[in-house]
């Protein structure tokens, strides 16, 4: 499905830029929410631990807020 989106006639450079922009925005909002919940319920060490886990899982692409 992902590949068919990029091969469709609806795909353009603008749509790719929007997809990346919206995807990054959504991830940042999700990360902020997760960090806030973990911070409140488990403390700063747990927040750092989950950020490290996401960083490892993403191959180092994630830059944490802490």
Determine, yes or no, domain membership for 54: no
Burial classification of residue 6, based on how many CB atoms lie within 10 Å of its CB (0-12 exposed, 13-18 middle, 19 or more buried) = exposed
Determine, yes or no, domain membership for 40: yes
The confidence score (pLDDT) of residue 36 equals: 93
pLDDT tens figures, 38-52: 999 999 999 999 989
Alpha helices, DSSP H, located in the chain? 2-7, 13-42, 44-57
Domain count across the chain:
1
Determine, yes or no, domain membership for 34: yes
Determine, yes or no, domain membership for 35: yes
Determine, yes or no, domain membership for 64: no
Check residue 27 and report its DSSP letter.
Answer: H
Determine, yes or no, domain membership for 4: no
Determine, yes or no, domain membership for 3: no
The confidence score (pLDDT) of residue 11 equals: 57
């Amino acid at each position: 499905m992902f590949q068919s989106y990029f091969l469709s006639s609806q795909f353009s450079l603008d749509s790719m830029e929007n997809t990346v922009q919206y995807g990054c925005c959504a991830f940042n909002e999700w990360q902020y929410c997760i960090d806030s919940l973990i911070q409140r319920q488990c403390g700063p060490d747990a927040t750092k631990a989950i950020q490290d886990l996401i960083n490892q899982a993403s191959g180092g692409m994630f830059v944490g807020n802490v």
